[in-house]
Amino acid sequence: MIEAVLERKNVKAGAKLTIKSLVALGVVALAAALPQIVHLVAGAEGGMRWLPMYLPVLLGGCLLGWRWGLGAGIASPLVSFTLTSLAGNAMPAASRLPYMIAELAVFGAVSGAFAGKIVQNGWTAFAAVVLAQVSGRALFLALAAIFQGVSPLSAAAAWSQISAGLFGMVLQAVLVSFLVMGLRALLLRERE
């Protein structure tokens, strides 16, 4: 979405790259910080229920497109894990990290695949977010089932985590979609 807005405003390639890099950096920073806040307020169960790292990645995909969304999805859990490991309490846990990377990469890429369509019709954000969520969670479950013999995470445990986060996913589908539609309206209004 941001790419289309920048093109309509005839922004030069270097400035486009800078703007998209700053937005992506903000997405990754928010994805690393938001879980810390939720865990402080609601504890570990709050993280499993509200899924705070997912929201910025979904938002980033819708705003930046699939390539940048994919990158933000991969970078977010890695940055969070690295920073929190230095503090002595790794989030996500090392055993969950590869699954989070794969899941969030799908979240960012799938929601980002709709970025161009969102410019044309803001309501497309709902389809983008829901399809990204379903795809990412399905991949998480499939990977848990495939690797349950060599990983501490079983398919049953993955399903339990998916069930625990269902309310958070529904809330994010609504919240992210309306945020994207609001940002779309704001960005396109400046153009006119």
Alpha-helical segments (H) within the chain: 2-8, 13-50, 54-64, 66-86, 97-112, 115-120, 124-147, 155-164, 166-191
What angle do helix axes 54-64 and 97-112 make, rounded to 10 degrees?
30
Output the pTM of the full model.
0.95
We report the CATH number of the domain holding residue 144 as: 1.10.1760.20
> What is the extent of the structural domain holding 138?
2-191
Q: Quote the pLDDT of residue 192.
A: 42
Q: CA of 137: how far to CAs of 19, 48, 81, 150, 162, in Å?
A: 30, 13, 20, 20, 7
Q: Using one digit for the tens of pLDDT, what is the confidence trace for 29-67?
A: 999 999 999 999 998 889 999 999 999 999 999 999 999
Q: Quote the pLDDT of residue 9.
A: 87
Residues of the chain above pLDDT 70, percent: 98
Q: Using one digit for the tens of pLDDT, what is the confidence trace for 162-192?
A: 999 999 999 999 999 999 999 999 988 854 4
Q: Please, what is the end-to-end C-alpha distance for the chain in angstroms?
A: 16
Q: How far apart are CA 192 and CA 179, in angstroms?
A: 20
Give how many domains the chain has, as a whole number.
1
